[in-house]
Structure 1
Amino acid sequence: MEGIFVALAIPFKNGKLDEESLAKHVDSLTKAGVDGFYTFGTTSQGPYLTLEERRAALEVISRNTNRQLVVHVFSFDWQGIVETVRLAEKHGTIAISSIPPIYYGPDYEVLKRYYEKLTQLTKLPVFIYNIPRNTGFNVTPDLMAKLLSDGVKIAGVKDSTGDVAQIMGHVRLGITVLNGSDSTILPALMVGAKGCISAMSNVLPDVIRSMFDEFKAGRLQSAMEKQDLIARVRELIRDYPGVDGYYKLIHLLRYDFGTVKEPYLRPLSEAEVQKLRDGLIRLGLKPRV
């Protein structure tokens, strides 16, 4: 796995999956040159999606792209995980991913048993999705090394800590490392990450595509300028709850787009959207009226 994977925003409208917006979005991102899609993680509102919503979303995605697909499978119900893995296999997914078990705070033994059981479910490569600010648990390179030495068949990690030293530690283990923090995509590539799973790719796919290509071509100054813009746009939504900031950025910079699934998450207010619009203008971008 290498390149730009979109941490896909999955929109809702009037409380239901907005399949029309999702189809348009996936098609547009495919034409923008992304390498693949990462579904049902944080930006997808994955923990709050029902199995039927996951099934419907995968069908829409599969109909509207020929790009690689990675599916995040975590559920609070083990049978939900099993069914999501089966859906992933049905739709030609190249890998699956999961956060560690959350809420109770796993120790190493729980971590080991969980990922062992997950790898036994499928022949697909299994990635750990490490996002400690949401899970309360950090899968460090030391823990990853212990899992590997204990024979757990982990293929790689999506690391969303934004900690470049930690990403470097994962790289040293010889697994596939994908960066999950929009503000550190370029630094992560420079220390050996194979690519990114990026929420901001929903918003600025052309910029991130260009940054990745400039990096591969050795044009670091140009790549750094693009990374700076990505980080500045990300900063505009830093203090907003949930993921609707990304959804509103799509709406402001690209096309009409749905919102988040209530009441688990809330959409931004009109005043917050206006503040976001003003911030984009200050950055020299041109939001839609």
Structure 2
Amino acid sequence: MEGIFVALAIPFKNGKLDEESLARHVDSLTKAGVDGFYPFGTTSQGPYLTLEERREALEVISRNTNRQLMVHVFSFNWQDVVETVRLAEKYGAVAISSIPPTYYRPDYETLRRYYEKLSQLTKLPIFIYNIPQNTGFNVTPDLIARLLSDGVKIAGVKDSTGDITQIMGHVRLGITVLNGADSTILPALMVGAKGCISAMANVLPEVMREMFNDFRAGRLQSAMEKQDLIAKVRELIRDYPGVDGYYRLVHLLRYDFGTVKEPYLRPLSEAEVQKLRDGLIRLGLKPRV
């Protein structure tokens, strides 16, 4: 697995999954040249989606793309994890992933038991999703090395720390490494990551595609310029809560788009959206009126 996987924004409207927006979004991103989709992680509001909402989203995704699918399966309810794995298999996923058990800080044995039990559910490759800024627990290369040594079937890691030293440590293990921090996609590729699972790919998929093409062709200066733009747009929403900043960016730069699932997350205010619009203009981008 390699290339650009979209940490897919899954929009809501009037309290329900906005299937029309999602269908248009998946089709547009496919045409823009992304390599795959990653639903039900952070940008998808995954922890807050019901099992039925996950099924509905996968149905929409499968109807509107032929690209690879990696499904994040974590839930606080183990039976929902089991059922999400089944849905991933049904809709042709090439891999699944999961954050470690969260809320109660896990020790190594908890980690080992969790991923071992997950591996018993499916023959699909399993990726660890490491996002310690949200889970409070960092799955380091040393921990993954222990899991591998103990026979746990880990195919790869999505690492969202933005720590290039840690990315390098994962790469040295010989597993597939996908970068999850938008500000360090290019540096991660340069030290051996196979690609990214990116929230900003919802917003600037064409720029992302060009950056990857530049990197592969050895046009590093051009690739760095595109990485800089991606990082600057990401910076515009850094201080906003939740993930609606990404959803508003899609709305401003691409097409009408739904919002987040309330009340777990909140949409940006009109003043915040205007500030975001002004920031895009300063970067030379042209938000929709």
TM over 0.5: yes
**Could you say which residue in structure 2 is the equivalent of 1:102?**
102
Partners of 1:49 and 1:153 lie apart in 2 by 27
TM-superposition CA deviations, 1:225-259 (whole Å, max 9, x none): 00000000000000000000000000000000000
Aligned CA RMSD, in angstroms, stands at: 0.3
Aligned twin of 1:91: 91
Q: Distance in 2 between matches of 1:129 and 1:104?
A: 17
What is the DSSP-based 3-state SS (H/G/I as helix, E as strand, rest coil) of the residue aligned with 1:262? coil
Q: Distance in 2 between matches of 1:104 and 1:160?
A: 20
Distance 1:168 1:212 in 2: 19
Structure 2 residue identity aligned to 1:207: V
Cα distance between partner residues in 2 of 1:242 and 1:217: 36
Shift in Å at residue 185 of structure 1? Answer: 0.2
Shift of 1:54: 0.2
Runs of 5+ unmatched residues, structure 2: none
User: Aligned partners of 1:126, 1:138: CA distance in 2, in Å?
Assistant: 17
Q: Residue deviations 1:115-149, cap 9 Å, x none?
A: 00000100000000000000000000010111100
Shift of 1:66: 0.3
C-alpha displacement of 1:5: 0.3
Q: Aligned-pair distance for 1:89?
A: 0.1
Deviation at 1:222, TM superposition (A): 0.1
The alignment partner of 2:261 has SS state of: coil
Deviations 1:189-244 (A, max 9, x none): 00000000000000000000000010000000000000000000000000000000
Report the AA paired with residue 57 of structure 1: A
2:221 counterpart letter in structure 1? Q
Amino acid at match of 1:155: A
> Which residue pairs with 1:238 in the alignment?
238
TM-score, length-scaled by structure 2: 1.00
- Report the 3-state secondary structure (helix = DSSP H, G, I; strand = E; otherwise coil) of the residue aligned with 1:235: helix
- The gaps in structure 1 that reach 5 residues or longer are none
The residue number in structure 2 matching 1:207 is 207
Tell me the distance in 2 between the aligned counterparts of 1:232 and 1:13.
28
Once the two structures are superposed, residues 68-101 of structure 1 have per-residue CA deviations (whole angstroms, 9 ceiling, x without a partner) of 0000000001000000000000000000000000
User: AA paired with 1:264?
Assistant: Y
Deviation at 1:10, TM superposition (A): 0.2
1:179-198 aligned within 5 A: 179-198=179-198
Code of the residue aligned with 1:109 in structure 2: it is E
Q: Which residue of 1 aligns with 2:6?
A: 6
Residues in 1 aligned to 2:212 and 2:52: alpha-carbon distance in whole angstroms: 35
Q: Give me the whole-angstrom Cα distance separating, in 2, the residues matched to 1:151 and 1:225.
A: 42
Report the counterpart of residue 21 of structure 2 in structure 1.
21
Residue 121 of structure 1 aligns to a residue in which SS?
Answer: coil
Shift in Å, 1:16: 0.2
Report what 1:275 is aligned to.
275
User: Equivalent residue for 1:32?
Assistant: 32
Whole-angstrom distance in 1 between the partners of 2:108 and 2:53: 32
Report the Cα distance in structure 2 between the residues aligned to 1:122 and 1:104, rounded to whole angstroms.
25
CA distance in 2, matches of 1:213, 1:114: 37
Tell me the TM-score normalised to structure 1 length.
1.00
Partner secondary structure for residue 104 of structure 2 = coil
For 1:156 and 1:249, how far apart are their aligned partners in 2? 30
CA distance in 1, matches of 2:22, 2:284: 27
Number of aligned positions between the proteins: 289
Q: Tell me the distance in 1 between the aligned counterparts of 2:37 and 2:177.
A: 16
Matched residue type, 1:108: Y
4+ aligned runs moved over 4 Å, structure 1: none
SS in 1 for 2:262: coil
1: distance between equivalents of 2:44 and 2:244? 10
Amino acid at match of 1:166: Q
Matched with 2:218 is 218
Q: Distance in 1 between matches of 2:181 and 2:237?
A: 14
Identity of aligned residues (%): 89
Q: How far apart are the structure 2 equivalents of 1:67 and 1:267? A: 29
Amino acid at match of 2:115: Y
Deviation at 1:13, TM superposition (A): 0.1
The aligned counterpart of 1:227 is 227
What's the offset of the Cα at 1:261? Answer: 0.1
